[in-house]
C-alpha cells in the first residue's frame, strides 16, 4: 500500500543481551496506518506496545522485518531526520521531554534543529501553541504548568516540526483525570480539524474507545485490529488477555448474560443510555 504513512512488515524485535538473544518483544507485527487515521494501540504492560511505538520513528530499529515511514525504510540512516520530521513522538513523562525553560523556546526546539529560518519558526511556534490552546502560556516556565498543560506543550513542540503523524506513547499515564481529558481532547481536535494522523498507545479502555481504529496487542502480536465498537464486542476474548472493556460495554454485556437482548455497540455513557431507554420504552 503506497498510500500508508506508516507500514510495518513482519516486524520482529528482540533485545540482545550478553547471554544471547532474548525472547522477541515484537513478533511479526504487520500494521499499516493511513493518512488522517486515529489509531489506538491497546495492550497491558509487556505487550510490546511501547516498543512498537519506538520503531515508528527509528528510535529502535527492527531485528527482523521492515518499518516504512512515508515509503522510507527506517534502517536508512541518511533519511533519519526526514523520518523523525514526519513522525513526531510524545512520551509518558511530561517533565523529561521539555528541553527549554520557557514554553515558546521549547516549542521552537524542533524547528531550530531542522534549520528553519527564524521568522518562520516564530509563525510555527505561534500556530502550534494556538492549536493546543496554550498561546497565553507562551512566556511561562514549564515547571509551573500542570501535567496536562505540560503534555500539551510537548504536543505543540512536535506540531511545530509540521509532522504528518503524531505517535503518543501513554501520554496520560502520569496525569490526573482533568489532565487526561485536556490531552485527549487536544489530540482528537488535531485529528479532526487538521487531519493529523494519530497513533495513541494506551492502556485506558475509554481512551482507546475514542479512536477510529483499535489495535490490540498481546505478547508481541496483534490480536485484534478493527473499529473499537467491534473489538469490544469480544468481551470474553479481551478478558482472557487481562483487558477490561469500557464500562458501558461491560454493563450491556452483563445484561446480555442475564438474558436481555441488547447490542454491545455502545462506547459512551450516552449511547448506552439510549439503548437502555429504547429497551424500557
Contact region with another protein (CB under 8 A), list: 12-20, 98-106, 182-190, 223-231: 98-106
| Binding of residue 222 to another protein (CB under 8 A) | no
Residues 6+ apart with CB under 8 A from 183: 148, 151, 152, 155, 171, 172, 175
Q: Which is nearer to another protein, 157 or 248 (CB)?
A: 157
**φ/ψ of residue 27, rounded to 5:** -130, 90
d(CA 10, CA 13): 10
Q: Is residue 103 classed exposed, middle or buried when 0-12, 13-18 and 19+ CB atoms within 10 A define those classes?
A: buried
Are residues 156 and 132 in contact, defined by beta-carbon separation less than 8 angstroms? yes
Residue 84 grid coordinates: 523523525
Q: Using CA atoms in the order 259, 263, 265, 269, what is the torsion angle rounded to 10 degrees?
A: -70
Is the CB of 8 or the CB of 210 nearer to another protein? Answer: 8
- Min dist CB 57 to another protein, Å, is 6
CA dist 230 and 121 (Å) reads 43
Choices 89-97, 193-201, 213-221, 267-275; region in contact with another protein by CB under 8 A: 89-97
Q: Assess 141 for contact with another protein (CB under 8 A).
A: yes
Q: Find the shortest distance in angstroms from Cβ 109 to another protein.
A: 6
Query: Which one of 32, 63, 72, 97 is in contact with another protein (CB under 8 A)?
Result: 97
Asked if 231 touches another protein (CB under 8 A), the answer is no
147 forms part of the interface with another protein (CB under 8 A): no
- Residue from the set 105, 185, 219, 247 that interacts with another protein by CB under 8 A: 105
Query: What cell was used for 43?
Result: 495492550
Burial, 136: exposed, middle or buried (Cβ in 10 Å; 0-12, 13-18, 19+)?
exposed
Compare residues 23 and 117 and give the one whose CB is closer to another protein.
117
CA proximity to 16, closest of 61, 75, 54: 61
Residue nearer to another protein on the CB measure, 128 or 235 = 128
246 binds another protein per the rule CB under 8 A: no
Stretch that binds another protein, among 3-11, 44-52, 78-86, 204-212 (CB under 8 A): 78-86
Restricting to residues 29-68, which ones interact with another protein according to CB under 8 A? 57, 59
Chain centre to alpha carbon of residue 188: 11
Residues found near another protein in the complex (CB under 8 A)? 57, 59, 81, 84-85, 88-89, 91, 93, 95-102, 104-105, 108-118, 121-122, 125, 141-143, 157-158, 161
Amino acid at each position: 500500500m503506497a498510500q500508508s504513512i506508516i507500514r510495518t512488515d513482519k516486524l520482529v524485535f528482540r533485545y540482545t543481551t550478553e547471554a544471547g538473544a532474548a525472547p522477541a518483544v515484537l513478533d511479526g507485527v504487520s500494521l499499516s496506518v493511513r493518512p488522517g487515521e486515529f489509531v489506538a494501540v491497546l495492550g497491558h504492560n509487556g505487550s510490546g506496545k511501547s516498543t512498537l511505538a519506538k520503531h515508528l520513528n527509528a528510535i529502535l530499529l527492527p531485528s527482523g522485518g521492515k518499518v516504512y515511514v512515508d515509503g522510507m525504510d527506517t534502517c536508512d540512516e541518511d533519511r533519519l531526520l526526514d523520518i523523525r520530521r514526519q513522525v513526531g513522538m510524545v512520551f509518558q513523562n511530561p517533565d523529561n521531554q521539555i528541553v527549554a525553560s520557557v514554553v515558546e523556546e521549547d516549542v521552537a526546539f524542533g524547528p531550530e534543529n531542522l534549520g528553519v529560518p527564524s521568522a518562520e519558526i516564530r509563525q510555527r511556534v505561534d500556530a502550534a501553541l494556538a492549536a493546543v490552546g496554550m498561546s497565553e502560556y507562551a512566556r511561562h516556565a514549564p515547571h509551573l504548568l500542570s501535567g496536562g498543560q505540560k503534555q500539551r506543550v510537548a504536543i505543540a513542540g512536535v506540531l511545530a516540526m509540521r509532522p504528518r503523524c503524531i505517535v503518543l506513547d501513554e501520554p496520560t499515564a502520569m496525569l490526573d483525570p482533568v489532565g487526561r481529558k485536556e490531552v485527549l481532547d487536544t489530540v482528537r481536535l488535531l485529528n479532526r480539524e487538521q487531519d493529523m494522523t494519530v497513533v495513541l498507545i494506551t492502556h485506558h479502555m475509554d481512551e482507546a474507545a475514542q479512536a477510529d481504529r483499535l489495535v490490540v496487542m498481546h505478547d508481541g502480536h496483534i490480536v485484534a485490529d478493527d473499529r473499537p465498537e467491534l473489538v469490544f464486542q469480544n468481551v470474553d476474548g479481551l478478558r482472557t488477555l487481562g483487558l477490561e472493556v469500557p464500562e458501558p460495554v461491560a454493563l450491556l454485556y452483563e445484561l446480555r448474560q442475564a438474558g436481555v437482548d441488547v447490542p454491545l455497540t455502545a462506547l459512551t455513557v450516552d449511547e448506552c443510555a439510549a439503548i437502555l431507554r429504547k429497551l424500557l420504552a
